[in-house]
Amino acid sequence: MSLDASALRADFPIFSSWDGARPLAYLDNAATTHKPVAVLEAERAFYEFSNANVHRSVHTLGERATELYESARERVAGFLGATDPAEVVFVRNATEGLNLVAQAHGRSRLGPGDEVVVSVLNHHSNLVPWQRLVACTGATLRVLPITPGLALDMDAAARTIGPRTRIVALTHKSNVTGTVIDATAIAYLAHRHGAAMVLDAAQSVPHLPVDVGALECDFLAFSAHKMCGPMGIGVLWGRRALLEEMPPYMTGGEMVREVTLEGATWNDVPWKFEAGTPNVAGAVGLARAVDYVASVGLDQVAAHERALSVAARGGLDAFGDVETFCPADGPNGIVSFRLTDIHPHDVATVLDQDGVAVRAGHHCAQPLHAALGVRASVRASFYLYNDHDDVARLFEALHEARRFFRRGHPPRFDRGLGS
């Protein structure tokens, strides 16, 4: 069954409340997605009818809030194919989840001579934490390259992941090229040498079916705001045995079992990693977002996005003066590109005047842009509420941008890289 984007768009207030001169063609979904009424109402209902701190109170509101919070954890676990809700740790976003793994898991495992394997595809949030960690432990960072077809180089992975590898930290789906890696095959290579597999799934969980059991990863992180959920809430999933071994990442209230003036003992997982008052409303909103996306069907979402991005790439390639950056097996909901003689920021600003929202910059993936031979790109990224009219609007606005700058108008906009 095909996805009806126009019907889904009615669930998102932004499209009816947009006050621009032209209707909104929102193509910046890899950065963040819009929120349906169901998610907005779930958050509001929590604050109106169930607002209390969790785990600390025996009064009715406290128990109600705790039930909502923990049921959200169960819902997320089921969505990821996890059998144990205690393996779901609520964090602020994927970035915090990845930093948690680097510090709480990686620091105790790494020393001189050990290796962490990353990829040129990685977002900065799954690269910089490992750079800092190897710098202070004496370990070595090894980087997997990409093929000319923009796939992860599996031959290089087989050569690089070896007896000294302790952690393999990769992006599941690139936020620039849309490349989806064979995570299960990489996990096999990692586990053969006793290494842990860490996945940044910020771009995959919202867009295609993800099952942590099938992926055979050890840790996986994603952000709610990239899948119709609230900002400020994310998930780190980790194998319980590894979470049990790890020390806390932050200390304070809730994550302790007993505190004296001489010391403290830690709470059970997952609460050991959830210091302080959590974002309960965010967790409630995330659970509702999970229900919403699941009701649409991630297989349908993936197919819909692929069709739109294939159409976008085909039209962009027809321009002649546009270079696209997509994997050889076709785009997966993301099309990054550049016009040969117009800076990406200038392109994006002119597009915005026509109501077309795209991203311009290095997208927090500077090493990948260096591998592509450019400093920045324009990115159009699709989601379940986009349709072929949005693709047509993109082409129309790009024609206008070309006409504007080639009539002799100087670029008017800041040329910094941005993120």
pLDDT of residue 413: 43
Burial of 240 (0-12, 13-18, 19+ CB in 10 A): middle
d(CA 100, CA 172): 18
Assigned CATH class of 5-29+297-406 = alpha beta
DSSP 8-state class, residue 85: G
Q: Are 63 and 202 in contact (CB under 8 A)?
A: no
Catalytic residue among 217, 228, 326, 364: 364
Q: Reduced to 3 DSSP states, what percent helix, strand and coil does the chain have, rounded to the nearest 5?
A: 45, 15, 40
- Overall pTM surpassing 0.85 (yes/no): yes
Q: Dump pLDDT digits (tens) for 67-90.
A: 999 999 999 999 999 999 999 999
d(CA 405, CA 399): 10
pLDDT of residue 409: 57
26's enclosing H/E stretch is strand 25-26
Token couple for 147: 């093929």
* Beta-bridge partners for 26: 357
pLDDT of residue 414: 43
How many helices (H) does the chain have, and how many strands (E)? 16, 15
Domain 39-294 of CATH type 3.40.50.300: no
pLDDT of residue 57: 86
Given a cut of 50, the residues of the chain with pLDDT beneath it are 411-419
Q: HSE, CB side, 13 Å, CA atoms: give it for residue 178.
A: 28
Residue closest to 117 by CA, chosen among 59, 176, 56, 159: 159
pLDDT of residue 2: 82
Where are the alpha helices (H) located in 205-354, listed in sequence order? 212-215, 240-245, 280-296, 298-317, 344-353
Intrachain domains 5-29+297-406 and 39-294 with the same fold:
no
pLDDT of residue 410: 52
Beta strand ranges found along 157-230 (DSSP E): 165-171, 196-200, 219-223
pLDDT of residue 81: 98
List the domain boundaries for the chain.
Answer: 5-29+297-406, 39-294
Torsion angle in degrees (nearest 10) through CA of 346, 351, 357, 360: -20
Is 326 part of the annotated catalytic residue set?
Answer: no
